[in-house]
Amino acid sequence: MRIHCPYCGERPAEEFTFQGDADVRRPQGNEPSQMDEWFDYVYLRENPRGRMKEYWHHSGGCRSWLIVERDTDSHEVFGVTAARERKLSPQRKRAS
Amino acid sequence: MTSFRLPTGGLVDRNTTLRFQFDAKSFTGHAGDSLASALLANGVSLMGRSFKYHRPRGAVTGGSAEPNALVELRTGARREPNTRATMVELFEGLEAKSQNRWPSLEFDVGAINQLASPLLVAGFYYKTFMWPKAFWEKIYEPLIRRAAGLGSAVHAPDPDSYEKIYGHCDLLVIGGGAAGLMAALTAGRAGARVMIADEHARLGGALLGENETINGKPSIQWVQEALAELASMKEVTILPRTTVFGWFDGNIYGALERVNDHVATPPEYEPRQRYWRIAAKAAILATGAEERPLVFGNNDRPGVMQASAMRGLANRYGVAAGKSVVVFTNNHSGYATARDLTAAGVNVAALIDSRANAPKLNAGKVPVLKGAVVSDVEGSRNVKSVRVVNADGGVEEIACDAVAMSGGFSPVVHLSCHRGLKPVWNEKLAAFLPPDTGKELVAAGAAAGNMTLAAALADGAEKAAKLLTALGFKPKTAKPPQADGEPYAVSPLWSVQSQHKAFVDFQNDVTAKDLPLAAREGYKDVELAKRYTTLGMATDQGKLSNVNGIALLAGATGKSIAQVGTTTFRPNYTPVSFGAFAGPFTGHHFNPVRKTPMHAWAEEQGAVFVEAGLWYRPQWFPRAGEKGWLESVTREVLAARNSVGVCDVSTLGKIDIQGPDAGEFLNRVYCNGWSTLEVGKARYGLMLREDGVVFDDGTTSRLGPDHFFMTTTTANAARVLTHLEFCHQALWPELDVQYVSVTEQWGQMAIAGPKARATLQKLVDGITLNDETFPYMAARPVQIMGGIPARLFRISFSGEHAYELSVPADYADAVIRAVMHAGAEFNITPYGTEALSVMRIEKGHVAGGELNGNTTAADLGLGRMMSTKKDYIGRMMATREGMTRADREVFVGIRPIGQGQKLSAGAHILNVGDKVSLEADQGYITAVAYSPMLESWIGLALVQRGNKRHGEKVRVFDGLRGQHYDAELCDPVHFDPENRRLHV
């Protein structure tokens, strides 16, 4: 697999470290009533077969945290953005 | 010994004679021979014994699909088991040995297994050796492994070197036969960056073994012209002896180049093999097609070969497979063999075509028996005759010493299926074709089912042109070269009723009877039948056997072949050596070695080093006359406590943090507060993970309003940096802060003890060190030794009045020597990680044993550090019920009861009177040391409610060492609890 780092260009996957679901948002606030929200943020991760946004760290390169949109089945990469450039979308709702 | 070398012909260099040995007998061959062709030229057709029944076997193919002719190549440390004699290029002095036979290839005791063959049918592992259970590991398995085996591995280290390399190209062409060469030519002429790889020493594929014409010229001449043209193109890379063994995500191909397998020893500075990782924009799969064996009695006798292999033997190597040959075929391939052998002067006794309505094809003067089959081969170690059942049912015996067989062709689809797709059955071709793999990889030529030479040439050019156009090139479309040839037509013949064993899988000794047996016993699914019968599970991965086996399974289960389907194709296409995977990263190249800038000094001081991650740290510094490490460590501790010691702490992670938001950033990553830290001061920081567990600790100093210098533990240095990067980039990109690892840029040493200040005073420029100018926790840039920039921190891990001095790495060696000189009058003593550890245990400072990935700040007695005034990583989750439970194991000291009693790390703690059980477990000891100050063993532990049990007597259970003893829980600060010594 190859990942197109926005800073370094297309590089082999071995240069990167995987960090899982990038569609989680760190909650704002530390009220006890927010515990469920925090629990979801810390522990709940989507694991779909198919398209997904994931954190990848260019640990063997420029050390940027990236958001890679990828098909977890075919491993096709659809797009890569630097985490620091991301436009935050609303927090995904907990599937109940 | 009779020579089977034909008087003329072949691509071998008859002027170059090479000597070689097989099973210690000497032979000669020619340059250009394979080991198999050279042996056959010498009349040696028996090359090995089979896996299970120890049947005599010879080469059945001319290539990498070879299941039988497996030999141990070379001797000594370069010995390599299971090499295919058909792929081994002959070189001067080659030595090879046959495998799986004892005492000799001709007389093999193991052949008695054939008599036991009723016991060794499909599933024999599961049936015969089931009972008694205890016998399996000790008796059955070793017995089976000895009897049924392949070559043996070498135990000596591999003396050769291996390389890894990345390749990049527009078009990768896999296979250098007719279609592959046309594809490469088309792409090369269009100016594309091309790589063309072929597993053989010469490119040309099947054309090397065929007697055909292209554009009116011998096909081999066309191959040479094509290669010359490719070699003249500077964007074209030709990779002979290179097997593309796997197709991976992102259109990456793994390939193994056997750079120097064809010589006795690689030339100096050259690798034996090179492991390629090729990133291709597009690829052409031009791997051709493999000829299928026919399944009849004794079809495994030496002398029975693929029809194409047998004519290749004559055309490429100038070797006759026998004096008189019978050809058995269900397609045109047998006719080509009959013609080529006849032309080479070999007698072809008969051509048996199983098709009653076979088209009229040119067999020369060879008698053709249509609608007939060979039911059995007679002869025990070689071929004496064949038993032919004619169309009318009549049986005749035809004398011969070799049999050419062709059951049709199977496109080599493997790579196209490596990413999960399954091949597609084609009824007309009676073969599986590659699935539609899109534009990354496209099959061409025989691999795509275009079985004639003319079609392969045209297909290679056309498919390449299409891919190149999609990549933006403008390939010229020229008329493809002209070739004649018979149309491909095949009538499947999956097995023949026989008297003797008929083999489907030669390498694993799977017979035609095993598959129906597996089906009868319920293993009807192809994946189950494979494992039950071991069909296709040998090192050849069923290249010859799988399609025949699937057809037999289909017959036995009443399904179509398409319904049965194939098993899963996985990389590697052919075996890849561990050496190639490891590449140059062996021995001391396996891991980098990290040495601190004071390493040479420590070596001179006689340090015993310990590996800490990749670092080498001085563990202690033995002196002459000391009996064991404890004596050295005790001396080092006493020196630091009573006078002054110096310790290299350069391995601590160091991160330089700058920017207007640097303080805020620290506030969010540490659980304690940083807003109030003054410039010029250091503070102990505790970092949590987001789940509330303690992650790391260290001292961070404020060197300027927007400038901090963070230290981490040695073990977590890289992890903390990654964590900071994540927090900043993914969580709070709005913070204006920059950070970089400076671990290797600064050499750092701890100078500890009552004489630390007096020692340092001699080195520091322009400051009188005292509690006003440099109080406890001061952290400031200073100059030392007349102008060397340095940073001085008055911090202490030992509990002594201590400093850490940090200097640019290049100065560190000079500075540590100056420190030693300055401290000489106080008998300054270097100390290692052991003394460091003793002193931290005496002081009850937490370290790796307590920062174990389970403990919270509160567990470690550091709960008061957790700020309630700010958000930080881990704040919320640290408040969860389980994280604050009253019966958590928390940090406590422990000391033995009874003079001279030792403590042991890892031992468990029980309430007095409790029996040993998991339920009764109160916790365990995390660290122990002999305290020279207290003249006793002391320890640290994690014990349930331990902080409230100081003074309580407990029982220690050390199951590992078989010990029980009494101990007492206590304050973890064993020594100087008032911290008076910090200010001495």
Nearest CA in chain A to B740: A63
What average pLDDT does chain B have? 94
Cα B879 to Cα A27, A38, B164, B656: the distances in Å are: 15, 11, 50, 31
Q: Is B23 exposed, middle or buried (0-12, 13-18, 19+ CB in 10 A)?
A: middle
Fill in the DSSP letter of residue B676.
Answer: T
Q: Name the amino acid, one letter, at B507.
A: Q
Cα B12 to Cα B176, B219, B305: the distances in Å are: 19, 16, 21
CA distance A92 to chain B (A): 16
User: CA nearest B551: which of B566, B539, B541, B534?
Assistant: B566
Considering the domain architecture, whether residues B30 and B141 belong to the same structural domain is answered as yes
User: CA nearest B577: which of B304, B259, B854?
Assistant: B259
Name the residue ranges covered by the structural domains of chain A: 2-24+36-85
Considering the domain architecture, whether residues B762 and B730 belong to the same structural domain is answered as no
The secondary structure of B847-877 as a DSSP string is -TTT-SSS--TTTTT-GGGS-SSS--TTTTG
Residue A9 tokens read as 């260009």
pLDDT bin (cut points 50, 70, 90) of residue A93 is low
pLDDT tens figures, B349-396: 999 999 999 999 999 999 999 999 999 999 998 999 999 999 999 999
Residue B164, pLDDT > 50, answer yes
Q: Dihedrals φ, ψ of A31, to 5°?
A: -70, 140
Are B722 and A57 a contacting pair at CB < 8 A? yes
Q: How many domains does chain B have?
A: 7
Considering the domain architecture, whether residues B965 and B937 belong to the same structural domain is answered as yes
Considering the domain architecture, whether residues B334 and B358 belong to the same structural domain is answered as yes
The secondary structure of B785-823 as a DSSP string is TTTEEEEEE---SSSSSEEEEEEEHHHHHHHHHHHHHHT
pLDDT value at residue B176:
98
Q: Domain ends where: B824, B839, B854?
A: B839
Beta pairing class for B162-174 and B25-31: unpaired
Under a CB-based contact definition with an 8 Å cutoff, are residues A65 and A84 in contact? yes
ipTM: 0.95
Chain A residues whose beta carbon lies within 8 Å of the beta carbon of residue B722: 17, 57, 59, 63
Domain membership of residue B790 as a residue range: 599-651+745-839
Q: Count the neighbouring beta carbons within 10 Å of the beta carbon of residue B333.
A: 26
pLDDT bin (cut points 50, 70, 90) of residue A48 is very high
Are B249 and A12 a contacting pair at CB < 8 A? no
**Superfamily covering domain A2-24+36-85:** Folate-binding superfamily (3.30.2270.10)
Cα A59 to Cα A22, A45, A62, B395, B655: the distances in Å are: 17, 22, 7, 73, 16
**Residue position matching structure tokens 């921190």:** B793
Under a CB-based contact definition with an 8 Å cutoff, are residues B204 and B162 in contact? no
The CA distance from A2 to B234, in Å, is 26
Which of B726, B733, B877 faces A38 most closely, judged by CB atoms? B877
**Inter-chain contacts counted by CB atoms under 8 A, chains A and B:** 63
**Which domain CATH number covers B34?**
3.10.20.440
What is the C-alpha end-to-end distance of chain A, expressed in Å?
34
Q: Determine, yes or no, domain membership for B877.
A: no
pLDDT tens figures, B29-51: 999 999 999 999 999 999 998 88
**Which domain CATH number covers B659?**
3.30.70.1400
pLDDT bin (cut points 50, 70, 90) of residue B922 is very high
The CA distance from B487 to B579, in Å, is 44
Under a CB-based contact definition with an 8 Å cutoff, are residues B185 and B461 in contact? yes
What average pLDDT does chain A have? 90
Mean pLDDT for B197-226 is: 96
Q: Domain ends where: B781, B816, B839?
A: B839
pLDDT value at residue B563:
96
The secondary structure of B964-981 as a DSSP string is EEEEEEE-S--S-TT-GG
Considering the domain architecture, whether residues B32 and B60 belong to the same structural domain is answered as yes
Q: Per CB distance under 8 Å, which residues of A are interface residues toward B?
A: 1-2, 12-13, 17, 19, 22, 26-27, 29-30, 32, 34-35, 38-39, 41-43, 55, 57, 59, 63-65, 74-75, 77, 82-86
User: CA nearest B758: which of B702, B817, B802?
Assistant: B802
Considering the domain architecture, whether residues B357 and B440 belong to the same structural domain is answered as no
Considering the domain architecture, whether residues B171 and B221 belong to the same structural domain is answered as yes
Report pTM: 0.89
Mean pLDDT for B173-198 is: 98
Q: Determine, yes or no, domain membership for B33.
A: yes
Tally the C-alpha atoms within 13 A of residue B35's C-alpha that lie toward its C-beta: 35
The share of chain B scoring above pLDDT 70, in percent, equals: 97
Q: Domain ends where: B382, B407, B432?
A: B407
Considering the domain architecture, whether residues B128 and B110 belong to the same structural domain is answered as yes
DSSP lists the bridge partners of residue B424 as: B433
User: Which uninterrupted H or E stretch holds B539?
Assistant: none
Considering the domain architecture, whether residues B341 and B403 belong to the same structural domain is answered as yes
Under a CB-based contact definition with an 8 Å cutoff, are residues B552 and B495 in contact? yes
Residue B232, pLDDT > 50, answer yes
pLDDT value at residue B147:
59
Question: B248 in the Ramachandran plot: left (φ > 0), alpha (ψ -120 to 50) or beta?
Answer: beta
Considering the domain architecture, whether residues B56 and B106 belong to the same structural domain is answered as yes
pLDDT tens figures, B116-154: 676 677 776 666 655 666 666 676 666 666 655 677 888
What is the C-alpha end-to-end distance of chain B, expressed in Å?
96
pLDDT bin (cut points 50, 70, 90) of residue B1 is very low
**Which domain CATH number covers B315?**
3.50.50.60
pLDDT value at residue B101:
75
Considering the domain architecture, whether residues B5 and B120 belong to the same structural domain is answered as yes
CA distance A16 to chain B (A): 12
Residue B874, pLDDT > 70, answer yes
**Residue position matching structure tokens 């049990």:** B949
Considering the domain architecture, whether residues B698 and B765 belong to the same structural domain is answered as no
